[in-house]
Amino acid sequence: GIQVEQSPPDLILQEGANSTLRCNFSDSVNNLQWFHQNPWGQLINLFYIPSGTKQNGRLSATTVATERYSLLYISSSQTTDSGVYFCAAPVQGAQKLVFGQGTRLTINP
Amino acid sequence: DVKVTQSSRYLVKRTGEKVFLECVQDMDHENMFWYRQDPGLGLRLIYFSYDVKMKEKGDIPEGYSVSREKKERFSLILESASTNQTSMYLCASSLSLGVGAFFGQGTRLTVV
């Protein structure tokens, strides 16, 4: 089945820095989602992005489906951006999302 | 906005108890899911349901059952809780995975 890999596993930055998180997937996908898991455990939808680029405030995401990767950009990081970021892709023909292992982002004041 | 609500944020139960975790969504989504999340193991699918009274096993269904009597509600049942079921449980719903899934706030279950 599809494999989803994220890098880096951990990222520590100072407030105000920019960051890029990467998600590679082994098969072609018709959807790719990015989530932020907050310190209380809830997974918050950031982007649904099967291809192209989307922006939402300081966050943007780009998926290059032909090369099987997606990038999440966070600009001018704030301490509230801390948490774990997951990407996930659906398994073809099955109602199931496969998650990467996540990137733990820590933004220090 | 889609809202997925789990009945409890924190739960402590004793070994052998029957445990019900409830999840309600308000967007008329066909599909609902239960995942558990453990350190080092990521998110793993326990069960999902694609319609009322319909269910499919996920990757780790052993020790769990589910119930979907109404479209908006999906319950996860631990028939006889064990300590290895201590985990974070996450419920999700989607109209179609092609358009994305939405998660509840999670239930941190501790079995003692």
CB–CB of B66/B78 below 8 Å?
no
d(CA B23, CA B106): 10
- Identify whether the C-beta of residue B10 lies closer than 8 Å to the C-beta of residue B107: yes
Distance from CA of A99 to the nearest CA of B (A): 7
Report helix, strand or coil for A66. helix
- Tell me which residues of chain A have a C-beta less than 8 Å from any C-beta of chain B: 30-31, 33, 35, 40-45, 48, 86, 88, 90, 95-97, 99-102
Q: Is B43 on the interface with A (CB under 8 A)?
A: yes
- For chain B, give the mean pLDDT: 93
B81: confidence class by pLDDT, cuts 50, 70, 90: very high
Subunit contact B97:A95, Cβ cutoff 8 A: yes
Q: Which of A48, A96, A102 sits opposite B58 (nearest CB)?
A: A96
What pLDDT score was predicted for residue A1? 79
Mean pLDDT score, A34-61:
93
What is the pLDDT confidence band of residue A76, given thresholds at 50, 70 and 90? very high
Does position A28 have pLDDT exceeding 70, yes or no?
yes
Q: Could you give the CA distance from residue B108 to residue B9 in angstroms, rounded to a whole number? A: 6
Which of A78-82, A99-103, B53-57, B98-102 shows the lowest mean pLDDT across its residues? B98-102
Report the C-alpha gap between B108 and B21 in whole angstroms.
10
Least confident of B13-22, B27-36, B91-100: B91-100
Nearest to A94 by CA among B39, B97, B38: B97
Q: Which of B97, B104, B108 sits opposite A97 (nearest CB)?
A: B97
Mean per-residue pLDDT, A25-48: 90
Nearest of B14, B9, B1, B2 to residue B90 by alpha carbon = B9
Six token digits for residue A77? 């990081």
Average pLDDT over residues A33-59: 93
Instruction: Quote the pLDDT of residue B100.
Output: 79
* Disruptive mutation site among A5, A23, A48, A97 for chain B (greatest number of B CBs within 10 Å): A97
- Comparing CB atoms, the residue among B48, B58, B98 nearest residue A30 is B98
Tokens of A7: 């890098």
Q: Taking CA B98 as the corner, what is the angle to CA A52 and CA B58, rounded to the nearest 5 degrees? A: 130
> Has residue B2 got a pLDDT over 80?
no
Mean pLDDT of chain A: 93
Cα–Cα distance for residue pair A88/B43, rounded to 1 Å: 10
Q: Among A67-81, A85-99, B70-84, name the one with the lowest average pLDDT.
A: A85-99
| Residue percentage of chain B with pLDDT more than 70 | 96
Rounded to an integer, what distance in angstroms lies between the CA atom of residue B93 and that of residue B32? 4
Residue type, B72: E
pLDDT for res A31: 85
- pLDDT-derived band at A8, boundaries 50, 70, 90: very high
